[in-house]
């Protein structure tokens, strides 16, 4: 079981300029929604953005440290118009949208 801060720190190791928000979807430390906002995503396709992160987490997924990552990867401009909900893909078998938690004040 890992903490959301660990997931956020891991994402920042590969995308240092990113703003990262992580939500533990089930409070079990293995299913996460991760919202990543970075100017470096400009000009990249959505799958390219996600692959950067998924490739980094492959060993953690294989070791069953992390079971699921729901990634939302956006440029700052896209983030301005994005909604404030998180999609939980395993909720009730059909998925539901839950309200995002506001980012922690630093």
41 closest CA partner among 32, 33, 50: 50
- Per-residue pLDDT for 92 more than 80? no
Is residue 106, in this structure, part of any structural domain at all?
Answer: no
Is residue 87, in this structure, part of any structural domain at all?
Answer: yes
Rounded percentage of the chain residues whose pLDDT exceeds 90: 57
31-37: strand order across its sheet: 19-24, 31-37, 68-74
Note down the domain range covering 10.
Answer: 4-99
- Per-residue pLDDT for 54 more than 90? yes
- CATH of residue 47: 3.30.300.90
- Per-residue pLDDT for 59 more than 50? yes
Predicted TM-score (pTM) of the model is 0.79
Distance (Å, whole) CA 63 – CA 73: 24
Is residue 105, in this structure, part of any structural domain at all?
Answer: no
Is residue 85, in this structure, part of any structural domain at all?
Answer: yes
Model confidence pLDDT, tens digit, residues 17-51: 999 999 888 888 888 989 999 999 999 999 999 99
43 closest CA partner among 73, 13, 19: 73
């Amino acid at each position: 079981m890992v903490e959301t801060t660990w997931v956020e720190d891991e994402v920042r190791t590969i995308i240092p300029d990113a703003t990262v928000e992580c939500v533990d979807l089930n409070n079990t430390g293995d299913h996460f929604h991760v919202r990543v906002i970075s100017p470096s995503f400009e000009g990249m396709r959505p799958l390219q953005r996600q692959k950067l992160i998924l490739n980094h987490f492959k060993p953690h997924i294989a070791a069953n440290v992390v079971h699921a990552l729901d990634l939302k990867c956006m440029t700052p401009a896209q983030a301005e118009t994005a909604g404030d909900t998180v999609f939980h893909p395993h909720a009730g078998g059909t998925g539901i949208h839950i309200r995002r938690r506001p980012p922690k004040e630093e």
